[in-house]
Amino acid sequence: MINKLNVEKFYDYFDEVANLLYQNYQKTYLEGMNEAFNLLLDDNFKEEYSKEDIEILKDAKSKISSIEFLREEVRKGVQLGLLKGYKHAYMSNSLITPDTIGIFIGYIIEKLYKNQKLENVLDPMIGSGNLVFAALNHMKKNAKIYGVDNDLLICNLVRNVADLLEYKNEIFYQDTLSYYDQGFDLILTDLPIVEDADYFPYKAINHHLDSLAIGGYFITLIENDFFEKKDIKIFQEEINKKAYMFGLIKLSETLFKNNPKSILLIRKKKENEVPPKKFLLVDLPSFNDTDGINNSIIKIDEYFKSREEE
């Protein structure tokens, strides 16, 4: 059971540190958060500060040192800080995938990996990490997290948060299309909103599918006009060579200020594997619509049951 007071205490700790480092050393709020996490994890800082300030910072740490925080208490506290830090840096809050989406995707992953190992997960555009952390926390899974981002500070932050949550992790600071590895059980990501001639989400999915293990799943958030881009036929032809799409869950527009999204489900096929006869297509209502959500869950449960019977 999540203790809201613990969420507040964890937030208050790094908020105090971040504010002091901003006032005395002109550190951004996100840099201050990262230093607060460095102190928690290593009892050390990456920068040099005055003896007086170090005493203040260590005193702040001492207030929470004896508390055993749950993973969700830490994640929720961090999310509050990220919202403040993004606002401070004039970054869009849309870069943080909403909790409800992460938790819902956790439910989908449980269905997909019911009889399949899940020892590692790659988020090739990990950003704040909220999507993968929320999903894994919901499932109570200890899969190793691999992440890629082209922002060094964000990489350091998400690495520290993963350490605080006690997930084994490897976070890489590089362009996502330059990253390649093999054998991931799951790829989970939230594709960015982009407008370019060569539609980036097509390139990203096609590229990272090569890193997915045979029989693994690629779960990604996509823009609702994903299938309306000019190169969609070429994309589908490329994907069908090594995988198949089997599900599309449209999320409620109430979750987004702009650019509503859907969840796309892809499986990397085994040799001679026949795709399921049915395609999962769900128009998800607002998560506040309890009856509507329950009806959608029933539909999804029935779909996965029918897959097992094929």
Reading the block at residue 186, the tokens are 């799951």
User: Quick one: which of 146, 212, 207 has its CA closest to 182?
Assistant: 212
- Indicate whether 308 pLDDT > 90: no
DSSP assigned state of 305: H
Question: Residue 6: is its pLDDT beyond 90?
Answer: yes
Q: Work out whether strand 261-268 and strand 212-223 pair parallel, antiparallel, or are unpaired.
A: antiparallel
> Domain residues for 266?
97-309
Tokens of 196: 């370019």
Same structural domain, 150 and 212: yes
* Same domain assignment for residues 231 and 276: yes
Q: Are 78 and 23 in contact (CB under 8 A)?
A: no
Looking at 46, 67, 91, the residue that finishes a domain is: 91
- The answer to whether residue 195 scores a pLDDT higher than 80 is no
Q: Which domain-ending residue is among 91, 108, 139?
A: 91
Amino acid at 304: F
Q: What is the DSSP letter of 33?
A: H
Sheet holding 243-250: strands in order across? 169-173, 144-149, 120-123, 184-190, 212-223, 261-268, 243-250, 280-283
pTM: 0.95
Kindly indicate the confidence band of residue 20, based on its pLDDT and cuts at 50, 70 and 90: very high
pLDDT at 227: 96
Structural domain count of the chain = 2
Are residues 207 and 179 both part of a single domain?
A: yes
Is the pLDDT confidence value at 47 over 80?
no
Q: What is the pLDDT of residues 52-81, one digit of tens each?
A: 999 999 999 999 999 999 999 999 999 999
Model pLDDT for residues 231-242, shown as the tens digit of each residue: 999 999 999 999
How does DSSP assign 228-279, residue by residue? GSTTHHHHHHHHHTTEEEEEEEEPPGGG-SSS-EEEEEEEEPPTTPPPPSS-
Please check whether residues 131 and 201 belong to one and the same domain.
yes
- Greater confidence (38 vs 307) lies with 38
Among candidate residues 44, 68, 91, the one where a domain is terminated? 91
* Bigger pLDDT: 274 vs 281: 281
Phi, psi of 163 (to 5 degrees): -65, -40
| 192 shares its domain with 291 | yes
Q: How far is Cα 50 from Cα 71, in angstroms, rounded to an integer?
A: 32
Alpha helices by DSSP H, listed for 128-183, are: 130-139, 152-164
Q: Cα dist. 180→4, 158, 241 in Å?
A: 40, 20, 19
- 3-state secondary structure at position 300: helix
CA angle 195, 198, 203 (to 5 degrees): 105
- The CA angle 261-266-270, to the nearest 5 degrees, is 175
Q: Reply yes or no on whether the pLDDT at 111 is more than 80.
A: yes
DSSP states along 74-91: HHHHHHHHHHHHHHHTT-
126 and 19 in one domain?
A: no
The CATH number of whichever domain residue 11 belongs to comes to: 1.10.150.470
Which one, of 125, 31, 123, lies nearest residue 82 by Cα?
31
The CATH number of the domain holding residue 150 is 3.40.50.150
CA angle 16, 88, 92 (to 5 degrees): 130
Output the pLDDT for position 198.
84
Residues 213 and 272 in one domain: yes
Asked whether residue 241 falls in the same domain as residue 114, the answer is yes
Average pLDDT over residues 188-192: 96
**144 and 34 both lie in a single domain:** no
Whether residues 268 and 252 share a domain: the answer is yes
Q: How far lies 133's CA from each of 98, 144, 188, 252, in Å?
A: 11, 11, 11, 22
The number of CA neighbours under 13 Å toward the Cβ of 234 is 8
| Encoded tokens for 127 | 């950003």
* 52 and 101 assigned to the same domain: no
* 193/157 same-domain check: yes
**Quick one: tokens of 71?**
């993973």
